[in-house]
Amino acid sequence: MSMKADSGKSYHLKCTGDALLTAEAHAGQSDITLFGSCFCPFVQRVWAALEYLGHDYQYYEVDPYKKPPELLEVSPKGLVPGLRFNSTNPPRALNESTVILAYLEDLSATTTKRSLLPPISDPYARALVYLQADHVSRSLVPAFYRYLQAQDTDKQIEGAKEFTASLEGLVKLFERAENETQTSVGLWRGGSLSLADVMGGPWIFRATNVLVHYRGFVLPEGEKFKAYVQRLVSDPAFKRTCSTEELYLESYERYAYNRPNTSQVANAINSGLALP
């Protein structure tokens, strides 16, 4: 799996395409400020959820590698995403994408009335969605980075197998929910965006461009999976947070060549540690 020489391109500092239009539409002040970075999949989780759940917010682009003071005030590690709530004095804040998603879900129950989960009257269906989301965090996300950062051919082959197995494991969890419940929440079943979709979607989306470009990755076969990916990338809320392919290819070149100190996530993968 030979690659061209590292061109030294850096990460982007501004959204492009649909994401740029969304960022511009949410440039004004709001009770909620989302601190984000255009290339970050953890940010895209929260951004897509905000779009789907229908909350008003301000999108505020930051460079997480420069860690500006306003970011550190809401995210002590200087990681994105971060949320700041401007209606309190002093403002309150949350960080960590999974925590923010839980907050937005609870907030929506009393405001927009939209949800990323099956109804509370079906706790088993909700639990199965949580299992899907847990699989994304434990398996899919770290497998993506191990694959992309692998430099020699054997490691890349191993990475492709691991990432493919993780995708197949997610599909099995989708099929389990399909077989055991009647709830149509989730894009796998042709329903609405689910917690598992926003949790894993950013990496599945990057598998269709970044992994294809740098690793020659081939998505798992099967019409149902292909249809799921198509529903994901064309879902209105998710699509509004997607930049053009060039942004991802250039921003992820540093991961593909495993440049030193690419990110805290990259360092954790290289050290065999949990993601930050």
pLDDT tens track for 77-87: 999 999 999 99
Residue 118 within any structural domain of the chain? no
The b-or-e profile of 149-182 (16+ CB within 10 A means b, else e) is: bbeeeeebeebbebbbebbebbbebbeebbeebe
Dist. CA 205–CA 179, nearest whole Å: 26
Please identify, among 44, 75, 110, the residue that sits at the C-terminal boundary of a domain. Answer: 110
Residue 224 within any structural domain of the chain? yes
Dist. CA 262–CA 248, nearest whole Å: 15
Please identify, among 62, 81, 110, the residue that sits at the C-terminal boundary of a domain. Answer: 110
* Integer angstrom CA distances of residue 211 from 114, 221, 240: 33, 16, 21
Q: What is the CATH number of the domain that holds 251?
A: 1.20.1050.10
Q: What is the pLDDT of residue 3?
A: 58
For 1-30, the pLDDT digits (tens) are 445 689 999 999 999 999 999 999 999 999
Residue 30 within any structural domain of the chain? yes
Predicted model pTM: 0.96
Dist. CA 140–CA 126, nearest whole Å: 20
Q: What is the pLDDT of residue 276?
A: 87
112 Cβ contact partners less than 8 Å away, ≥ 6 residues apart: 53, 54, 55
Task: Kindly tell me if the per-residue pLDDT of 189 is higher than 60.
Answer: yes
What are residue 60's phi and psi, to 5 degrees? -125, 110
